[in-house]
A and B are shown apart, each in its own frame.
Chain A
Amino acid sequence: MDIFVQQLVNGLTLGAVYAIVALGYTMVYGIIQLINFAHGEVVMIGAMVAFTVINLLAAAGMPPFVVVLIGAGCAIPVCMLVGYAMERLAYRPLRAAPRLAPLITAIGVSIILQHLAMLVWSRNVMAFPQIIPLTTYTFAGATVTGVQLTIIGMCVAMMAGLAALVYRTRLGTAMRATAQNPQVARLMGVDVNRVIAATFIIGAALGAVAGVMVGTYYGVAQYTMGSVLGLKAFAAAVLGGIGNIPGAMLGGLLLGVVEALGAGYIGDLTDLCRYGLGPEASCADGGHFVVFGSNYQDVFAFVVLILVLVFRPSGLLGERVGDRA
């Protein structure tokens, strides 16, 4: 039971980050039906910029929270700029093109960003300086760190902020109008290009914060961290129903929990000795014969993605029926 609660907490932390990244995918998809493949790289750039700043400030003796806040404060504008440039240069000219065209440029943009980041920050893993004192709380048999609580809290706050933006402001109304029907939105006086650019910028800002959080959580950042994180977040967005903002939040949290619980239990569940099926030699004296160990953790997101797409392509909360091919 302890393991269960512990993995649940770990999963929720990771899931909160997935949810924030997934929001970036789902907002862009909802408005122009583009899978912004390069969004994961934006998250990576956010983490790298923040780590650079945090490493510079680590010796200054400021409170750790302020240092991380300044790091994020530097990462957000950089990512917003990257997000805007991406939309303006690589996606906007292709808005009327067949659907595969912008997807292919998105792959190109992702490769370019990844390797530019490699040029700037080198191949090496950047480590988070030891500035945050380890504070732990015990809760129902599980250990929760201060960082985990902060991440979950921040994510909830950001989701609430985004919901307020989308459902309570003029920009949000314009975004929803554009998502429903760009032509009619334009007739109603909405500057569609500006709304789409704003969507990319907001998504990139969220991505930057997610990058800072995931970097702080794992303590490392590297130029390759974006692609798998991005794929998982995309899986989360699809799980919740792509294009649907509450769906991305739910999908992210669920995926994080599935991944954590899966990694925690798959070894035990696929231990053939438990079922009396393993070979004698391995199972003697309480030995194990594990078919799938926790190193298969990264598979879960993709399996979830495929299962959702096969059995419920509209996702958990999405109402849109799958379009034609």
Chain B
Amino acid sequence: MRSGKWVWAGIALIAIALLLLPFALSQAGTAWVRIANIALLYVLLALGLNIVVGFAGLLDLGYIAFYAVGAYAYALLASPQFGLHLPFWAILPIGAAVAALFGVLLGAPTLKLRGDYLAIVTLGFGEIVRIFLNNLSQPVNITRGPQGIAGIDPVRVAGVDFSRSDSVFGVMLSGPMKYYYLLLGLMLFIILVNVRLQDSRIGRAWEAIREDEVAARAMGIDTTGMKLLAFAMGASFGGVAGGMFAAIQGFISPESFVLVESVMVVSMVVLGGMGNIAGVILGAVLLSFVPEILRWTVEPAQQALFGKMLIEPEVIRMLIFGLALVLVMLFRPAGLLPSAVRKRELTLDRAP
């Protein structure tokens, strides 16, 4: 371990950079602050999924369903749809709790299944949630179906409206910048929870289950309970992220919660390094900026070379995700920034 002084200096540097980032980005245009906000949302999602996939080793391919549940919980409780306008601080815990409930609902019957079956069942669950969101406009209009819910309240805390510009201590803060700091705070909180969990009794129980479930049970770990807890915790973080998504966008529809989004979050966790918090954050940031980078490089390059768009950036983005999943698994199975334990696990020649 290097001396603590340097570590703290590094952390302080990163903190200052993160605090100043929105000011630098807003020079390039508010759009970039919004992009940073989306990236932060993906970091929240990836950290939540990391609890399920990275810590407990349960591959969840329907994670976006919890994001959807959180987003719809927020939208229904703070929009003209039912005329409810609950405050932000009340809804976010409700969203987290409802998402956690869904996590338990999904987990309880399926957690005794083997890993790969669980993956497919979670995938099916994600699809079921989306089909319901799409169709719950009849006979009673709850979700407005494919039209989605619009006019969702922005976050308002103590009279501060996050959708408007305000000056704080003489510094002008735009709406997206305020959301940036809110998301940053949430991210820090979730990172803290992740770090504390990792080395706690619970975290080590998850690790034991991931390594060898039979041995873990023999050691007296309540494997089903622990796995349920992982599911519920991961889901509740997804729910919080979903609530923030609804508040920031002001509009949600089932189209935002398709299977591809689940795959994207899984890609982020896998690419960065399952189980390693820094790696997961890196993966989420990298992959959420990919579409923007492509928009600024591939489009002009194609225009210059061929005079027209031959390959849409969207397709390239998906091809990159797919390739990233395959290549990472083939050549660097522990991800870009592997966690120490994972590395040991994956390089050891384990007999099946």
Contact = CB atoms under 8 A, between A and B. Distances in A.
Contact of A324 (B110, B124, B213, B318): B213
Contact of B127 (A34, A98, A111, A231): A231
A272 B193 CA distance: 46
Nearest to A322: B114
Contact of B125 (A115, A228, A302, A324): A302
B116 A99 contact: yes
A302 B263 CA distance: 18
B177 interface: no
Contact of B123 (A231, A299, A310, A324): A231
A112 B59 contact: no
A325 B324 contact: no
B61 A322 contact: no
Contact of A302 (B124, B135, B266): B124
A296 B135 contact: yes
Contact of B115 (A100, A105, A115, A305): A100
Interface string A226-244: 0110010011001000000
Given A107-B61, A115-B318, A306-B109, A324 B330 contact: no
B132 to A, nearest CB: 8
What secondary structure prevails in chain A residues at the interface with B?
Answer: helix
A259 to B, nearest CB: 13
How large, as a class, is the contact surface on chain B? 35 or more
Nearest to B212: A324
B138 interface: yes
A302 B116 contact: no
7 contacts: A100-B116, A103-B116, A104-B270, A104-B329, A298-B131, A309-B110, A309-B113
A86 B68 CA distance: 33
Contacts of B323: 108, 112
B110 A310 contact: yes
Contacts of B11: none
A298 B128 CA distance: 8
Given A107-B61, A111-B318, A231-B124, A90 B117 contact: no
A100 B209 CA distance: 14
Contacts of A102: 329
Interface in B285-335: 311, 315, 318-319, 321-326, 329-330, 333
A324 B114 contact: yes
Interface in A268-318: 272, 282, 289-293, 295-296, 298-299, 301-303, 305-306, 309-310, 313
Given A96-B349, A231-B123, A298-B127, A111 B322 contact: yes
A112 B319 contact: yes
Contact of A98 (B124, B259, B311, B350): B350
How large, as a class, is the contact surface on chain A? 35 or more
Given A97-B346, A291-B139, A104 B325 contact: yes
Contacts of A323: 114
A108 B139 contact: no
A35 interface: yes
A114 B251 CA distance: 29
B112 to A, nearest CB: 8
Given A97-B346, A100-B59, A299-B131, A306 B114 contact: no
Given A100-B57, A306-B110, A90 B326 contact: yes
A282 B115 CA distance: 46
B322 A112 contact: yes
Contact of B325 (A111, A272, A291, A325): A111
B59 A103 contact: yes
A111 B323 CA distance: 9
The 10 closest A-B pairs by CB, nearest first: A108-B325, A111-B322, A302-B124, A112-B322, A108-B326, A325-B213, A108-B322, A310-B109, A105-B329, A115-B318
